[in-house]
Amino acid sequence: MNIALEIVSTEQLEILKNFYALYLHDLSEFSPTLHPNENGFFEFDAFELICNRDELSPYFITYERKYVGFLLFAKTPFTAPETDFCINDLFLLKAYRGKNIADQAILELLKQNKGTYYVMQLKSNKTAIHFWEKFYQKNGIQYQAAEKMDGDDLCLTQTFTVPSLLSKL
């Protein structure tokens, strides 16, 4: 499978913005706080922050050299307390879901960045919860889970440490 992570360049930010609109559209099913703007476009209100902070790294997920999704990788201070990294957002176009593409992209990220990770899903997003549970199980990842409120949304969180996983990845 030809899957890769590609850091989003400044010239590609418009493409990322379009992917974010699709991602937020998908999430709007699970969060009453997500709505399109007056032009019918879902906008990430902190998008400019992604472009201007070294601690936030957006990556395209590519499959067969096509952009099929993205993930937003965050470092402190954009992580939970006592964690080094956060996989903040993860999105794949629907046609590419269920094909092990996201798994391979995440594993590539974990191989490149050793430390303690934080991941969060909306509790009402059963598909995302199932994806992460299956990912942890397939890869033998031991994690600590908790519930937390994020604004008006109830979320599930997981933390895990990568160094102990490296021999398995």
Among the listed ranges 9-18, 31-40, 82-91, which one has the minimum average pLDDT value? Answer: 31-40
Per-residue model confidence as pLDDT tens digits over 107-145: 999 999 999 999 999 999 999 999 999 999 999 999 999
Domain of residue 155, residue span:
3-165
- Rounded to 10°, the helix 126-138/101-112 angle is 60
Per-residue model confidence as pLDDT tens digits over 30-79: 998 899 989 888 988 788 888 789 999 999 999 999 999 999 999 999 99
What 3-state class would DSSP assign to 53?
Answer: coil
- Dihedral sign for Cα 136, 113, 101, 145, please: positive
Does the predicted model carry a pTM greater than 0.85? yes
Q: Which of 76, 109, 75 is nearest to 90 (CA)?
A: 109
CATH of the domain at 94: 3.40.630.30
Q: Which of 124, 158, 96 is nearest to 34 (CA)?
A: 124
- Total domains in the chain come to 1
Residue type, 20: Y
Confidence at residue 169, expressed as pLDDT on a 0 to 100 scale: 52
DSSP H or E segment with residue 45 = none
